[in-house]
Chains A and B, each alone.
Chain A
Amino acid sequence: EVQLVESGGGLVQPGGSLRLSCAASGFTFTNYWMHWVRQAPGKGLMWVSHINTDGSNTNYADSVRGRFTISRDNTRNTLYLQMNSLRAEDTAVYYCSRSGGWVDFWGQGTLVTVSS
């Protein structure tokens, strides 16, 4: 069974940092690009970042570029999102997802709240 399990969310003050993790199982992790997508409260879905199969190619939404870093550990089947200089507008549920072209499976998400 394919599973993506996010962790690491929580409450953080503006300007703070947080590292999200996504543990993958039930499929060959190294065959898939991986993505982070977020949904702010009451808003729609927003693509945040993706990474290719070996971690050599990454892309970011303009609103997070320079503050967020996506990475993966293929020996641990785990995806990460390091989030620095967090802002109130980064408050959202963050979903980890996989793609073999298009995104076909999503985790349950982890909530990040940026507030003082």
Chain B
Amino acid sequence: DIVMTQSPDSLAVSLGERATINCKSSQSVLSSSNNKNYLTWYQHKPGQPPKLLIYWASTRESGVPDRFSGSGSGTDFTLTINSLQAEDVAVYYCQQYYSTPYTFGQGTKLEIK
């Protein structure tokens, strides 16, 4: 199984500042056949279902604000939230869909400082 490890476990950032969440996979999720990274990022707020933010590691889902961006390749990935807003408070998860089981990171709790 591919193990996904996020860092940090929790993060407190001031409004308007940048938040950076890291995700590391135990093996590469980059496909040699299409040169795409099989990695997504989700935002999860209490009482709501998770919401897709990023797929293919760096492609923003339609309707997601452009302050959210994803980067990285192979085994190391980053979710960056620029100009943090109050509504961004949530738990963020990375997930690989390269091979089953489609494992998630343990989650990063983002709060306002």
Contact = CB atoms under 8 A, between A and B. Distances in A.
Interface stretch (B11-19, B69-77, B95-103): B95-103
B102 A44 contact: no
A104 B49 CA distance: 11
Contact of A105 (B52, B56, B106, B107): B52
Contacts of B105: 44
How would you classify the secondary structure of chain B's contact residues: helix, strand, loop or mixed? loop
Contacts, number: 57
Given A61-B101, A101-B97, A104-B61, A44 B106 contact: yes
B44 interface: yes
Interface residues of B, number: 25
Contacts of B44: 45
A103 B100 CA distance: 13
B104 A44 contact: yes
A68 B56 CA distance: 30
The 6 closest A-B pairs by CB, nearest first: A106-B49, A44-B107, A47-B102, A102-B55, A59-B100, A45-B104
15 contacts: A44-B91, A44-B106, A45-B44, A45-B95, A59-B100, A59-B101, A61-B101, A62-B1, A62-B101, A97-B49, A102-B52, A102-B55, A103-B95, A107-B49, A109-B49
